[in-house]
Structure 1
Amino acid sequence: MNLFKRAWWRLTGHLGKTLMLGGLFFVICTLVLSGFLIQSAAARAAESARNSVGAVATMQLDLNALLNSGKMQQGKDPGQPGFIGAEGDLQRSLVDKICKSSVVANCNYRKDSVAAPTDQVKLHQPVPAPVGQDNRGADFFKADGVRDLEAVSAFRNGDSRLVAGSGIKPDSKSDMVVIEERMAKDNHLKVADKIKLKAIVRHPDGRIGFKEIGFVVGGIYRNNSADTGTYVPPMMAPSNQIYVTPGGATRLDSKEVGADGGVLNQATFTLRDPADLGQLKLDAQAAGVDLKIFPLTVNDKQYKTLVGPINKTAGFASITVWLVALAGTVILALIVASSLRERRKELGILLSLGEKKPKLLGQHLVEVAACAVMAIGFAAVSSQFLSQAIGNQLLSGEVSSANEAAANEADKPDPSDTLGMGGDNESNEPEVKPIDHMDINLGPADIGKVGATGLGIAALATLIPGARVLRLHPRDILTKGD
């Protein structure tokens, strides 16, 4: 007799056991499929966060590494201390080569400088210095030479924004300057005005002098930090922050911009993927950069903040899938073994009539697989809603824990901020919040995975206890009863 017919008669003749087995499979397949869906949603969210945020790699001089390398310039006299020299200069021409790397989505670099006021352009100082206070050394504009103004953290996170003109671009001329709105109003300046700023000149004999350098106002920006109402050294006031090109900053150092493009203080590279740091290092070495003296460090804090909770949720879902699959296999194996004992007479009669043992085992496999297939269909209908609810609930708990940990970390003092003035603005990233919602999408691949898992559980749960059938003889079954 056809084993498929016998399996059909068995399933329809014992509806109670069929429904019990199908119900158990439904629970297993629903939980397994929900785990797969949560894993898929987390992977999509992590990929989206990786593409939108990437990671920022920073390159700058490591003074200790330069000292240990022995490449510092030695003084003329034996007792004269050494100085950094050319080996400690980060050349703009080399950084430009790295910016062309295939793994770099965006790059920026900075050269720090200062500019002294002139009769035409004065500092913004709403509150004068206290009587008798010596503020010499702070009466300067803080001039940052940048490659791309939009890539500066203050403009990325919204603390500053352009209100007139345009920002500095990689192809901007070296005489372009972007000034703050308050300073522009004090000096009655507008876009396209020509101005002069004083650059510091250091003479060989140690004297300090000044010379005027011409600039053109290319843009005016607004900083959200209001005046404090108390005296602040001019160079520390946000209103006295100006932006120039790296070539402009070199000019403010009273140096000529040579073929190498000048010297930079820091370069930042936004990677397309946090895992691309290795390739970036290879590209930097190919460009001629000594990574021992100018190391590349990655700040992937934003990416970790975004995907940390959702990755933990996916990890929990992965453990759940394995536990449910293992427990389901064990429980179903016990049920099948019990069913085989109950049907010993049926097995003995069929074997005595000449039925092959593999076909008997195949009949049980068909019965269990049929219950599994029905359960997979019902699980596909309900799992999307269940996994959405479970996933969001688990994710909300992880997000709450992450926010609490971030709040506790923010309350701790920064050991590197000895002056209490905050970190370097260029290294600060815009604040981001963890992903707190996952989009569950049921696709053919997910159904295929749970189908393979469900049928695999059915096969293991049937073949392991059913292997005994292959060792039995009809007489043993019918006379001994077990």
Structure 2
Amino acid sequence: MNYIKRALLSISRKKSKSLLLFLIIFILGNVMAGAIAIRQGANNVETNIKRQLGAVLTIEVDNEAIERASQENPGSPPEWPGPLQPDLLKTIGQSSYVKSFDYTTQFGLGSENLQRWMTPEEAEWSMNDTYSKFYGFQLKGTEYPPVMIIEEGKATLKAGRTFSQDEISTGVGVALITQQLADYNNLGVGDNIVLSNYILDYGETDGPMVEPTITERRDIPLQIIGIYENIESPEEPNQMVGQISKSELYNTIIVPNQTIIAEQQAMNEYYISQMEEELTEEQKAQAMLTYYTSLFILNSPDDIEAFKEETQALLPPFYKVFTNSDSFSIIAAPVQQTSKMASYVLMVAIGASILIISLVVMLFLRDRKHELGIYMSLGEKRSKVISQIVIEVVLVAILAIALSLVTGNFIAQGLSESMVRDQLIAEQDPFNPDPSVWEDQWRFGQFASNMTGEDIAENYRINFSPAYIGLFFIIGLATVLISTVVPTLYIVRLNPKQVLM
């Protein structure tokens, strides 16, 4: 009789043993299916979140590396690295991974005739606020004529136009302002505004704080060439963060970098001239350097690691590439912990399955050793005898695995989603956000992730997918095959006479 038919007859005739094997594989399969599903869910949430955020990177000083170097050599701490210069940033921006890039410098200015946008609450306590008077407006430079936030959909151009390359290169007095600031001051495209660079003397630092004396006021006339409106996130991770961000966003004025650099240098020259100690030429040159904030938009999130590796090789010591998804690992810690736990459970389940199924198959084969001995004494090849046993177990296993695929998925979905969601939301403190929220906002501004535990929870889904089904069947069947072949080899290695004795 064909060994395949013998396998089918053996399953149908020995129903109790087949059912017992089915139940064992089904129970173990549920554990493995649940563990795989949880891991897949964690991987999916990371992929989904990072694709939603896009691939936005910046280069900054690595404070942790400097701190480590200082601790390793406290007698000779490292010098603070100087700013990255435009030539290097342009070289990095020419990478094939980069879709677009910009580098900006910022400067706070006041104004005698332009009113700072404020909420009613802010207006009550900032009437005599020195900051609002002298630094109420944030000038943000750009080297990218289309303006990054507009091109990437973080803001919309409501009126006018963006910069020309000639305006960027020469630093002419043109600017883009927000819709809110324009409405607050009844301004439109073509109107002129005047900002003031106040060079201040704070006098003696000892004693009570007094309002500084204005030693010089440099007026910067600007023509409004465009009005834009920021596209705000539907939710802010923290109420205070939201208020600060809104005030800063609405009072930001975008200009060419060269406009800001001219004012920075004028102020630096004044303060250098007021120093009691004479600076060396090298110190003066260092003081006049401009610090830039870089921003790189990549073609795909899949390019992040390759770009970081390529860029890190070009950077001076103590500089590092940061991404707007770096905070994911902090905020999504409960998801990653659950995934790690599921990995351990999966490994234990596989080991336990191999051991338990091997013992069960071994017991079944001991009861059938005379049957197997007869097959071999009649001239049946050992390979066919092994194949018969394997087919019997695999057919039962396929049914058990298919059913446990469904039930294990539902069990994992019910347990992990509620557990992960509750833990994510429980760890979220709206009045004391994780420091990563502030760091993310500071580094990336409008490109910050503003990610919360609720965002992670919303994206945590356990669903059937070809990858999940394929992986589970591969792991399940491989486990069953290993469990079956080992005890089968023990039986068939014996001679027919020894088996029949």
Closer, same or farther in 2 for the Cα pair 1:134/1:329, shift >3 Å?
closer
Closer, same or farther in 2 for the Cα pair 1:400/1:99, shift >3 Å?
farther
- Per the alignment, in what secondary structure is the counterpart of residue 105 of structure 2? strand
User: 90, 98, 112: which is aligned to 2:106?
Assistant: 112
Larger Rg: 1
- Find the counterpart in structure 1 of residue 195 from structure 2: 197
Shift, 1:365, TM fit:
2.3
User: 276, 288, 293: which is aligned to 1:266?
Assistant: 293
User: 433, 444, 450: which is aligned to 1:431?
Assistant: 450
Closer, same or farther in 2 for the Cα pair 1:136/1:56, shift >3 Å?
closer
Question: C-alpha offsets along residues 59-95 of structure 1, whole Å, 9 cap, x if unaligned?
Answer: 35789999xxxxxxxxxxxxxxxxx9xx945444543
For structure 2, the 5+ residue unaligned runs are 67-79, 201-213, 233-246, 267-288
**Alpha-carbon separation, structure 1, partners of 2:46 and 2:376:** 57
Equivalent residue letter for 2:11 = L
Shift, 1:392, TM fit:
5.0
**Alpha-carbon separation, structure 1, partners of 2:291 and 2:357:** 68
The answer to whether the 8 Å contact 1:42/1:310 transfers is: yes
Equivalent residue letter for 2:261 = T
**Alpha-carbon separation, structure 2, partners of 1:320 and 1:400:** 21
Question: C-alpha offsets along residues 79-113 of structure 1, whole Å, 9 cap, x if unaligned?
Answer: xxxxx9xx945444543443333334554433122
**Alpha-carbon separation, structure 1, partners of 2:406 and 2:190:** 59
- Give me the identity figure in percent: 20
Is the deviation greater in 401-410 or in 21-30?
Answer: 401-410
The answer to whether the 8 Å contact 1:141/1:242 transfers is: no
> Does the alignment pair 1:322 with 2:316?
no
- Find the counterpart in structure 1 of residue 271 from structure 2: none
Closer, same or farther in 2 for the Cα pair 1:319/1:281, shift >3 Å?
closer
User: 214, 218, 227: which is aligned to 1:219?
Assistant: 227
- Find the counterpart in structure 2 of residue 230 from structure 1: none
Equivalent residue letter for 1:466 = T
> Does the alignment pair 1:402 with 2:424?
yes
Closer, same or farther in 2 for the Cα pair 1:185/1:363, shift >3 Å?
closer
Closer, same or farther in 2 for the Cα pair 1:389/1:176, shift >3 Å?
farther
**Alpha-carbon separation, structure 1, partners of 2:40 and 2:435:** 39
**Alpha-carbon separation, structure 2, partners of 1:65 and 1:5:** 68
For structure 1, the 5+ residue unaligned runs are 67-83, 225-235, 256-261
Closer, same or farther in 2 for the Cα pair 1:365/1:478, shift >3 Å?
same
Shift, 1:35, TM fit:
3.9
The alignment's TM-score, normalised by the length of structure 1, stands at 0.68
Equivalent residue letter for 1:324 = A
Shift, 1:339, TM fit:
1.6
- Find the counterpart in structure 2 of residue 276 from structure 1: 304
Closer, same or farther in 2 for the Cα pair 1:63/1:449, shift >3 Å?
closer
Root-mean-square deviation (Å): 4.6
- Find the counterpart in structure 2 of residue 462 from structure 1: 484
Closer, same or farther in 2 for the Cα pair 1:140/1:277, shift >3 Å?
same
Question: C-alpha offsets along residues 24-77 of structure 1, whole Å, 9 cap, x if unaligned?
Answer: 3333445434544444444343223222225654335789999xxxxxxxxxxx
User: 78, 95, 98: which is aligned to 1:101?
Assistant: 95
> Does the alignment pair 1:248 with 2:270?
no
**Alpha-carbon separation, structure 1, partners of 2:256 and 2:406:** 53
Closer, same or farther in 2 for the Cα pair 1:137/1:292, shift >3 Å?
farther
Shift, 1:143, TM fit:
3.0
The answer to whether the 8 Å contact 2:160/2:226 transfers is: yes
5 Å-filtered alignment, 1:267-346, equals 267-270=294-297, 272-273=300-301, 276=304, 279-280=307-308, 282-283=310-311, 291-292=316-317, 295-298=320-323, 300-304=325-329, 308-346=333-371
- Find the counterpart in structure 1 of residue 18 from structure 2: 18
Is the deviation greater in 49-58 or in 331-340?
Answer: 49-58
- Find the counterpart in structure 2 of residue 45 from structure 1: 45
- Per the alignment, in what secondary structure is the counterpart of residue 410 of structure 1? coil
The answer to whether the 8 Å contact 2:30/2:407 transfers is: no
The alignment's TM-score, normalised by the length of structure 2, stands at 0.66
Equivalent residue letter for 1:192 = G
Equivalent residue letter for 2:483 = A
Closer, same or farther in 2 for the Cα pair 1:241/1:342, shift >3 Å?
closer
Shift, 1:137, TM fit:
9.4
Equivalent residue letter for 2:367 = E
- Find the counterpart in structure 2 of residue 73 from structure 1: none
**Alpha-carbon separation, structure 1, partners of 2:2 and 2:497:** 23
> Does the alignment pair 1:365 with 2:385?
no
Aligned length: 419
**Alpha-carbon separation, structure 2, partners of 1:385 and 1:106:** 47
Question: C-alpha offsets along residues 426-478 of structure 1, whole Å, 9 cap, x if unaligned?
Answer: 558342131443151332x5544444434433333333223332344455444
**Alpha-carbon separation, structure 2, partners of 1:105 and 1:306:** 28
Structure whose residues are more often helix by fraction: 2
Closer, same or farther in 2 for the Cα pair 1:59/1:329, shift >3 Å?
closer
Question: C-alpha offsets along residues 351-370 of structure 1, whole Å, 9 cap, x if unaligned?
Answer: 55454555433332232222
Equivalent residue letter for 2:192 = K
Shift, 1:331, TM fit:
1.6
Question: C-alpha offsets along residues 262-301 of structure 1, whole Å, 9 cap, x if unaligned?
Answer: 9443223355448835634644765xxx523755445534
The answer to whether the 8 Å contact 2:109/2:139 transfers is: no
- Find the counterpart in structure 2 of residue 143 from structure 1: 138
